[in-house]
Amino acid sequence: MTVSKRGTTSLKSVALYDTTLRDGTQAEGIAISADDKVLISKKLDELGVHYIEGGWPGSNPNSIEFFNNIAKVKLSFSKIAAFGSTRHAKNTCAHDPNIQALIDVKTPVVTIFGKSWDLHVRDALRISLEQNLEMIEDTVAYLNKKGKEVIYDAEHFFDAFKRNTDYAVATILAAERAGADCICLCETNGGAIPSEVGSIVAEVKRRLPSALLGIHTHNDSGCGIANTLAAVENGATHVQGTINGYGERCGNANLIPIIANLELKLGCTCVGAKRLKKLGEISRYVAEIANQVPDERAPYVGRSAFAHKGGIHVSAVVRNSETYEHISPELVGNARRVLVSDQSGRSNLIVKMKELGIKVDSNSPELGNVLKKIKEMENHGYEFEAAEASFVLLVQEAFGKLPVYFENVSWRILDEFLENSDFVQAMVKMKIRGKDFHTAAEGDGPFNALDNAVRKALREFYPEIDKMKLVDYKVRVLNSKEATADAVRVLIFSSDGKNTWGTVGVSTNILEASWFALRDSIVYFLSRTHKKRKASKTANA
C-alpha cells in the first residue's frame, strides 16, 4: 500500500454493486416500473457501476419483466445480477422454484443470501445449524456449476459475528468452499458503528485471506456510509449500496458519497475521474425517475453542498477555494454557489456582480444600497437563496440596468364558487411600450387566471412569453402566530425548457405575493430573451 497526496492509504480497485432496483424500491414511497428500471440501468452503466442488481425474479412479475427487457439492451460496462435466497430446506436446487427462476432469467451474475446468525436459523428457518450450512454450500455450488458468477450475501453477518463468531464464520467458509466469487458481509439491521465493522472485516480477512470480501450496510444508526468506508479500509473490495441511499427503514448506504469518498479520500479506483463528474447528474436523474425530491444538502452533489452564505467565507473562497471547500465541486459534477441574505457581506455581492457581468468597485455606493435593501427585505420575510432571479433584478435595478417591459399594472380577481364548479377570472390593466392594455382571462385558480391574463396582454409585443412555463409554486406562512392575518412568502420556479429560475414575493395578501414573484419571473425571462433596451426607470409595478 502507498500513501496518497491527501495522506490516506491508497487501496486497490473497488467493485461497485448497485441495488437501487431491488433494495432501493423497498423504501417507503418508492415504486419503479420495469421500463424505468431499464432507464436507470443505462445511467448506472454510464457511471461505470460494475454490477446492477435487477430484483428477485422469484418474488414478483416486475422483476421478471425487467430482466426480459434489459436482456435486449447492450450495456457497455455493467453486469446484471439476479437476486435470491439459498434453496429451501425441503428442496434440492434442481427442484427449487426460486433457484430455477434465477437460472431462467439468464443473468451472468446471481446473488444469493443466506443466514449467518444462529438465531435466524433456529427461530426463522427452524432447521439445524448444519442444515443451514448445507443449504449455503449446495446453492452456491449449483449456481457455480451453471456457469454463474456467484455473489454470496451473508445476511445479518455482523450481529451474527458478535453473538456466535464461530458459526458466523462457518457460514461464509461454506460459501467459499462451494466456489463463491465474492462473499459480501451484510450489516442488515444497520445498528453497527464503524469501529465494529472495521475490526470484524479485518478479522474475517485474516481467517479467509484469499476470499474477495464485500460490504453491504444500512443506515439505521446513521453510519451506513462510514461503515462501508471502514470495511474498505480493512479489506473489502466489493461495495454494495443504492443511489441516494434509497432503501427500507432509514435507507441503504448511499453510493453517491461512497464513490466520491473512495475516489477522492481513500485513493481507490472505482469509476475514474471522468465518470466521477457524472455523480450529480446520476443522483438527480434517479431521484426524478423515483419521483423523489432531490436532497439539496446531499454531500458532494446537493445544490447546497458548495453554497456559501457568510461574507467571511465567500471572501476567503474567492481567494483560495480550499479555505472552505474540501474538494473542487467540478470533480463531482457540481458547482459553487454564492448566496445572498441578511448575513451577506460585500464579498458575496461582488462575486454575484461578476457572475452578472457587472464591474463594480468594492466601495461603490450602489453596492451598499443593494446590501441595505437585501437586509431590509429579508427582515420583512424575503429570502433570495432559492430566488436568485429576484436578486438579479434587484441588482440590475440598483445599477440602472433593468429594462422596462411593462408598467402601471393593476389587476382584479373574480372568484365565484358555483356548485360542482369554480369560476375564476382575472382582469388586468397595464401599459406596454406606451400602449394601454385591458385583458381578462379565466384559469384553474386565481394565480393561473392572473398569469393567463398577463400573458394575453404581453403576447402582442413579446410572443416569446409562451416559451416560459411555471414548474413549481410554493407558499410559506412566515409567522403562524398571526394566523390568517400573517404574511406569506411565495416562491415560484419557472422554466424556458433549458433553464430554470426562482423568484419570490412577500405580502399579507397571497395573491399580491404571487404577483410579485410572477412579475419578477416574467421580467427576468424577457431580459434574457428579448432585445434589451436601456432602462429609463425600473419595472416596479
pLDDT in tens, 178-215: 999 999 999 999 999 999 999 999 999 999 999 999 99
Q: Which H/E stretch holds residue 488?
A: strand 488-495
What is the spatial distance between Cα 184 and Cα 240, in angstroms, rounded to a whole number? 8
Q: What percent of the chain has pLDDT over 70?
A: 85
CA distance 317 to 294: 26
The CA distance from 369 to 377, in Å, is: 12
Residue 540 has pLDDT above 50, yes or no: no
CA atoms of 257 and 300, how far apart (whole Å): 7
**pLDDT level of residue 373 (50, 70, 90 thresholds):** confident
Q: Where are the domains of the chain?
A: 11-289, 307-376, 407-529
Which residues does residue 133 pair with via DSSP β-bridges, in sequence order? none
Nearest to 54 by CA among 284, 69, 46: 69
Answering whether pTM is above 0.75, one says no
pLDDT at 477: 85
Looking at domain 11-289, which of 3.20.20.70, 3.40.50.720, 3.40.50.10860, 3.40.50.970 is its CATH number? 3.20.20.70
Q: Are 506 and 375 in contact (CB under 8 A)?
A: no
Q: Residue 537: what pLDDT?
A: 41
DSSP code for 180: -
Summarised one tens digit per residue, pLDDT across range 321-360 is 566 668 888 899 887 666 555 445 566 677 666 665 666 7
Residue 538 has pLDDT above 50, yes or no: no
The amino acid sitting at 516 is F
Distance CA 502, CA 518 (A): 10
- The arithmetic mean of pLDDT across residues 125-147, rounded, is 97
Q: Cβ(242)–Cβ(254) under 8 Å?
A: yes
Inter-residue contact 334 to 300 (CB < 8 Å):
yes
Structure-block grid coordinates of residue 496: 424556458
CATH superfamily label, 407-529: Alpha-isopropylmalate synthase LeuA, regulatory domain (3.30.160.270)
Task: Please give the average per-residue pLDDT across 133-156, as a whole number.
Answer: 97
Percentage of the chain modeled with pLDDT above 90: 65
Give yes or no for residue 500 having a pLDDT over 80. Answer: yes
How much is the pLDDT for 334?
A: 80
- Predicted pLDDT of residue 7: 40
Distance CA(181)–CA(81), nearest Å, equals 13
CB 201 within 8 A of CB 234: yes
State mean pLDDT over 214-227.
97
- Residue 67 — very low, low, confident or very high, per pLDDT cuts 50/70/90? very high
Given pLDDT bands bounded at 50, 70 and 90, which one contains residue 5?
very low
Give 501 or 342, the one with higher predicted confidence: 501
| pLDDT score, position 531 | 47
What is the structure's pLDDT at 398? 82
Q: What span, in angstroms and rounded, lies between the C-alpha atoms of 425 and 449?
A: 6
**Grid coordinates representing 174?**
461454506
Q: What is the pLDDT of residue 339?
A: 59
Whether pLDDT at 72 is above 70: yes
Whether pLDDT at 518 is above 90: yes
DSSP labels for 239-278? EEEBGGG--STT-B-BHHHHHHHHHHTS---SS-HHHHTT
